[in-house]
């Protein structure tokens, strides 16, 4: 539909508004909808014909409530192509409880907006545990099939919706958006947030301005000029990434945009078990759009990044069909090892395209549909459901754990140097299905469904996540050893060498910088702002100092008495000065943590000095100690 058809659509919208029942303080153009729901926050948006003070109040339980005043954006006909002025209200709620249900009231100038009797603004915040999300795309035409898919999705009890782009046709305009998106899904949007990505049709009006104006999505870490075009968020143990395979991809591929660099940074930071990426143009689907230049850019620029970070699942649209790829790595189907499953879900309501047979496609059907994803810990079951309710495809992802080479390291220095009794960090993929820390200093050997063994000996666990395990090495293991990590989905192995000692100084942020974990005698941290004094005794926190005199088992908190001193002599180097410490032992009340007490010489000059520990020619990592 060309842009010059907007006035006709505008008259339809005006007529619908004119016939709408009175809503008290203001006339609703767009009913309230929930956006950008997180663990502790959410946004509520709505539009009216009149301006005024908007407010939202939400209740969870009998005595818990939060409220927010809306900010207002005015939309003029010259901007929207709609024949009247309207006002968009945007209220940001904060301080919400994780995994809680909220029932909300929206008011204008103190009077509650009237919704249909069976329509309530109720949503649940993100939180731990199993949940369902739905994915669909290429929807906004106003067709009977779009309505059928919408009604079928309303039966699913979804926590959130992902939209793979082309939310409206033909040109992503404001009027089309109202008629074929907000009016089409308002009942769904009352209960769960939509997290979209832009399609090519959404870009056809003023560089996707209507798309950006109607949504509130996460904006953290994205460049200001790109905010709303791509973003990421967490829900339970899934890290979702929405990309823009239109303008943001073309500019990034040409070297002028930031999206690909942002994507690398985002994937490198997440500790979630699942990473789900979605964007409009598919890389490996078979259909009439497979030669689209943007699909080629996806194959050349986005797919290699997804391979590098072992992303398991990608959703796309653009091809108006359902397709599931074989696991793909290096642009080729793979039978084992890392591989990305690409799901094309472009059957939300637009006219269908044929599915063409390709080596990358495992299954496809030209059907109006949506995808239901059920997240349950380390398993995700996906079902493609047609508009008539018939299931056309089902598969389950349960990825095996993976530990790359050289990924078992000293927890303080992050080198491969390990020692008996020391703390170790195990990095990998698909380890624990959730992020957990041990609840006490009596460490468990199973945490979050994960266990680890070294030469058949269970390792006490301090922390687990999808990408990391922190554990303690038993005091009596030394030499070559085999690490075995068992998860709910399988087992991974790694070879390590445990030396006699592997001293490593812990570092941690303080005062805007990274400093060694060194304490004054009064228990406060030594830092650039609170330096050590010449002549003062300080205590350095380390791991990897090896065996101790006395008896203690790995995973046990160190007793106060008797002192458990290390067996191998310790030297402390501060600048060019080499010192014998006053003591070197396991720290009472801790697990795998050693303390070295040293007196700063009275003649050490003020300033910053290199700090190192040596034990029988084995040196620690280098840190910087500030002395005054």
Cα–Cα distance for residue pair 590/238, rounded to 1 Å: 32
CATH topology of domain 504-627: Immunoglobulin-like (2.60.40)
Answer yes or no: are the C-beta atoms of 133 and 315 closer than 8 Å.
no
CATH topology of domain 408-498: Immunoglobulin-like (2.60.40)
pLDDT score, position 64: 84
Q: CATH homologous superfamily for 1-127? A: Purple acid phosphatase-like, N-terminal (2.60.40.380)
Q: φ and ψ at 10, to 5 degrees?
A: -60, -40
Cα–Cα distance for residue pair 542/554, rounded to 1 Å: 16
Query: Global pTM?
Result: 0.93
pLDDT score, position 545: 98
Q: Which residue blocks in 71-114 are alpha helix, DSSP H? A: 77-80
pLDDT score, position 9: 45
**Other C-beta atoms lying within 10 Å of the C-beta of residue 385:** 24
Buried b or exposed e, range 546-574, using 16+ CB within 10 angstroms: bbbeeebebbebbeeeeebebebebbbbb
The residues near 336 (Cβ < 8 Å, ≥ 6 apart) are none
pLDDT score, position 119: 93
3-state secondary structure of 98: coil
Bridge partners, residue 370, by sequence: 385
The residues near 181 (Cβ < 8 Å, ≥ 6 apart) are 139, 140, 167, 168, 214
pLDDT in tens, 505-515: 999 999 888 89
pLDDT score, position 2: 36
pLDDT score, position 15: 37
Answer yes or no: are the C-beta atoms of 176 and 209 closer than 8 Å.
no
Report the chain's C-alpha Rg in angstroms: 29
Q: Please say whether the structural domain 130-198+224-399 has been given the CATH code 3.60.21.10.
A: yes
Cα–Cα distance for residue pair 611/627, rounded to 1 Å: 11
Cα–Cα distance for residue pair 468/187, rounded to 1 Å: 41
Instruction: Tell the burial category of 348 from Cβ atoms under 10 Å away from its Cβ (0-12, 13-18, 19+).
Output: buried
Parts of the chain with a pLDDT under 50 = 1-23
Q: Which two tokens stand for residue 595?
A: 């303390």
The residues near 445 (Cβ < 8 Å, ≥ 6 apart) are 451, 452, 458, 459, 460, 461, 555
- Domains 408-498 and 504-627 equal at CATH topology level: yes
List the domain boundaries for the chain: 1-127, 130-198+224-399, 408-498, 504-627
pLDDT in tens, 395-423: 999 999 999 999 999 999 999 999 999 99
Q: Which two tokens stand for residue 115?
A: 């919704």
Answer yes or no: are the C-beta atoms of 337 and 329 closer than 8 Å.
yes
The residues near 15 (Cβ < 8 Å, ≥ 6 apart) are none
CA distances to 140, 181, 363 from 388, rounded to whole Å, are 18, 21, 19
pLDDT score, position 461: 98
Q: What is the DSSP string of 212-241?
A: HHH-----TTS-GGGBTTBEEEEETTEEEE
Residue (of 506, 498, 500, 475) closest to 569 by Cα position: 500
Q: Which two tokens stand for residue 258?
A: 């930031």
Q: What is the DSSP letter of 30?
A: E
Answer yes or no: are the C-beta atoms of 481 and 487 closer than 8 Å.
no
């Amino acid at each position: 539909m060309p842009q010059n058809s907007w006035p006709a659509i505008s008259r339809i919208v005006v007529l619908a508004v004119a016939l709408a029942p009175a809503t008290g303080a203001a006339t609703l153009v767009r009913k309230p909808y929930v956006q950008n729901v997180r663990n502790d926050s959410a946004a509520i948006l709505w539009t009216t014909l009149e301006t005024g003070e908007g407010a939202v109040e939400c209740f969870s339980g009998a005595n818990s409530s939060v409220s927010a005043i809306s900010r207002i954006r005015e939309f003029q006909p010259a901007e929207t192509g709609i024949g009247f002025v309207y006002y968009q209200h945007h209220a940001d709620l904060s301080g919400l409880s994780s995994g809680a249900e909220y029932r909300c009231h929206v008011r204008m100038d103190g009077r509650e907006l009237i919704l249909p009797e069976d329509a309530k603004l109720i949503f649940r915040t993100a939180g731990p545990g199993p949940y369902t999300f739905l994915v669909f795309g290429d929807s906004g035409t106003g067709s009977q099939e779009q309505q059928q898919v919408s009604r079928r999705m309303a039966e699913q009890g979804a926590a959130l919706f992902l939209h793979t782009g082309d939310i409206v046709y033909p040109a992503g305009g404001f009027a089309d958006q109202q008629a074929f998106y907000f009016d089409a899904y308002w009942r769904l949007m009352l209960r769960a947030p939509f997290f979209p990505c832009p399609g090519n049709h959404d870009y056809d009006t003023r560089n996707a301005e209507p798309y950006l104006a109607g949504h509130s999505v996460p904006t953290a870490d994205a460049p200001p000029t790109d905010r709303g075009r791509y973003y990421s968020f967490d829900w339970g143990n899934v890290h979702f990434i929405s990309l823009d395979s239109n303008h943001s991809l073309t500019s990034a591929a040409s070297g002028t945009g930031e999206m690909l660099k942002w994507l690398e940074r985002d994937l490198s930071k997440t500790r979630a078990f699942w990473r789900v990426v979605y964007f409009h143009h598919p890389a490996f689907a078979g259909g009439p759009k497979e030669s689209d230049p943007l699909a080629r850019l996806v194959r050349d620029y986005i797919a290699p990044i997804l391979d590098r970070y072992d992303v398991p699942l990608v959703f796309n649209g653009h091809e108006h069909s359902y397709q599931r790829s074989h696991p793909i790595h290096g642009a080729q189907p793979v039978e084992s090892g890392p591989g990305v499953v690409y799901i094309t879900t472009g059957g939300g309501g637009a006219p269908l395209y044929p599915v063409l047979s390709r080596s990358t496609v495992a299954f496809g059907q030209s059907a109006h549909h949506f995808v239901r994803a059920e997240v349950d810990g380390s398993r995700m079951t996906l079902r493609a459901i047609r508009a008539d309710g018939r299931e056309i495809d089902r598969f389950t992802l349960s990825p095996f754990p993976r530990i790359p080479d050289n990924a078992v390291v000293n927890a303080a220095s992050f080198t491969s140097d390990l020692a008996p009794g020391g703390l170790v960090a195990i990095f990998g993929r698909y380890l624990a299905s959730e992020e957990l820390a041990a609840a006490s200093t009596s460490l468990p050997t199973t945490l979050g469904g994960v266990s680890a063994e070294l030469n058949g000996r269970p390792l006490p666990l301090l922390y687990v996540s999808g990408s990391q395990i922190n554990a303690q090495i038993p005091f009596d293991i030394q030499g070559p050893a085999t690490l075995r990590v068992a998860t709910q989905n399988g087992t991974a192995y790694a070879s390590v060498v445990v030396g006699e000692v592997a001293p490593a100084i812990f570092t941690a942020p303080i005062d805007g910088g990274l400093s060694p974990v060194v304490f004054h005698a009064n228990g406060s941290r030594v830092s650039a702002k609170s330096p050590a004094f010449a002549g003062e005794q300080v205590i350095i926190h380390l791991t990897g100092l090896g065996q101790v005199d006395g008896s203690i088992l790995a995973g046990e908190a160190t007793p106060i008495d008797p002192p458990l001193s290390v067996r191998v002599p310790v030297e402390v180097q501060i600048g060019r000065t080499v010192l014998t410490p006053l003591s070197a032992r396991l720290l009472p009340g801790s697990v795998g943590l050693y303390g070295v007490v040293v007196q700063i010489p009275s003649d050490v000059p003020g300033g910053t000095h290199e700090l190192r520990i040596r034990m029988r020619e084995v040196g620690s990592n280098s840190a910087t100690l500030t002395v005054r």
